[in-house]
Structure 1
């Protein structure tokens, strides 16, 4: 909730900084709105500038790049790779990718340098790419376990 308030305060402060461009005071001290083509053409640019300023002030640039990588994954790596692998998380320059099969995991490990180049072209520098295969099914259910159990062989008697 406090992040939303900080965002609202930052946007309001930015709007106040730029509001003098749209108003003038007459001799009595009343403000009038300026209505000329020059001021109206500047309006939409101010929102854009304000958003870029807000992103820079809050330090959100890196987070937006990461979000862009996750949303545009198929565009960046290609349709075939995107169908068989998906990014799971990116922390401290280490990207974790989960592959659809062990064969695809092996293939992506061999292609990791090429993937780093493709992702680097989008503005994100990666230190490492870790590729994992699909998760194996777990026979564990609930909070109770048997120490020294023999796995699924014990399940069916």
Structure 2
């Protein structure tokens, strides 16, 4: 009976460990996306693979359609939580400054405008803002599960191995 309960406890610990590791990985991906959501990607070509919400072409300031396969981009600025007027303001500034190409100073000016608008975005409208647990919270929850699983498995093995 002791062996059966020990095996059941180890199996439970293994499942908790697997779910914990998965939570850490998902939380890391969510946090990385949330951290980059309002960072403008300035690219010289049409290569947009960094995970930004907005990419601008450095040659002319045009908005690049960088969407997942099978999804069509709008060709317009659409940042999460921004109003239509804020999106339009960013797009117009990028077009105006990008007529002769976007210099580093002009890129900073566009990023500064985006950063200024981010301050007005309510937390609930930001990426993962309405989620109960996301990003850093999910990472800590996952790490807690991993530690609990390891302690539980170690304790169970210790109890099962103890002579009577």
- TM-score interval w.r.t. the shorter chain? under 0.3
Q: Which has the higher strand share?
A: 1
Larger radius of gyration, structure 1 or 2? 1
Taking structure 1 as the reference length, what is the TM-score of the superposition?
Answer: 0.27
- Give the alignment's TM-score, normalised by structure 2: 0.26
